[in-house]
């Protein structure tokens, strides 16, 4: 019953928070739920071409899969509708609010930074050959305050905005929700900068963490 990665063998790590089984690493599908390939944009021009046509697309940070493969791909909003396999779904805005509420656990005076630290992958010195970019602050910051006590294990995958340009690697991450903004064609996303839901253009590229049905 476990969700497997695209190699067909390795199960995704999961964690139960707030009564929901959530992925504890970024989704990395190359096809949608019907088996149709999600095109890989290999440069900004091709990303823009896909998004201008409102077509699904994915890319890697800085168009560099070699360095950023462990982050998983960034998807545009047009890829979300058919992204999740059977038994899973792209979370709603409220499901991310539930994540934060579960971390708070009734402590309304808890600082946003402390919530972030409980959600962020814990810092440890990379083993030989291991990619330091998986850790907040890159390879120059001890980051001992990132405890990942929740087990959510968010890492700073950055994002692609609509300029379009890449931003936020080693500093932040944004996760798509499936919830639309009522006044536009934008979708809400969850920002790990301040643990809030905001909305952005479907032309943006963000990470995805699925939730079990």
Confidence grade of residue 7 (pLDDT, cut at 50, 70, 90): confident
Per-residue pLDDT, 67:
85
Exposed/middle/buried for 181, CB within 10 Å: 0-12, 13-18, 19+?
Answer: middle
Better pLDDT: 71 or 83: 83
Per-residue pLDDT, 70:
85
Q: Looking at the predicted structure, is the pLDDT value of residue 135 above 90?
A: no
Per-residue pLDDT, 38:
98
Q: Looking at the predicted structure, is the pLDDT value of residue 124 above 80?
A: no
Q: Looking at the predicted structure, is the pLDDT value of residue 143 above 80?
A: no
């Amino acid at each position: 019953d476990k969700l497997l990665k695209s190699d067909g063998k390795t199960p995704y790590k999961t964690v139960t928070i707030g009564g929901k089984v959530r992925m504890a690493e970024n989704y990395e599908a190359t096809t949608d739920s019907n088996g149709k390939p999600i095109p890989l944009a290999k440069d900004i021009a091709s990303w823009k071409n896909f998004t201008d046509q409102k077509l699904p697309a994915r890319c890697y940070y800085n168009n560099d899969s070699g360095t950023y493969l462990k982050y998983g791909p960034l998807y545009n909003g047009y890829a979300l509708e058919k992204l999740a396999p059977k038994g899973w779904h792209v979370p709603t805005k409220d499901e991310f609010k539930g994540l934060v509420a579960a971390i708070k656990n009734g402590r309304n005076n808890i600082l946003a930074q402390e919530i972030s630290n409980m959600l962020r992958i814990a810092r440890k010195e990379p083993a030989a050959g291991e990619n330091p970019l998986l850790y907040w602050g890159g390879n120059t910051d001890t980051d001992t305050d990132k405890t990942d006590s929740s087990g959510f294990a968010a890492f700073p995958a950055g994002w692609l905005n609509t300029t379009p340009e890449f931003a936020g690697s080693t500093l932040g991450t944004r996760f798509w929700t499936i919830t639309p903004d009522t006044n536009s064609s934008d979708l809400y996303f969850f920002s790990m900068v301040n643990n809030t839901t905001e909305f952005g253009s479907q032309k943006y590229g963000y990470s995805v963490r699925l939730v079990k049905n």
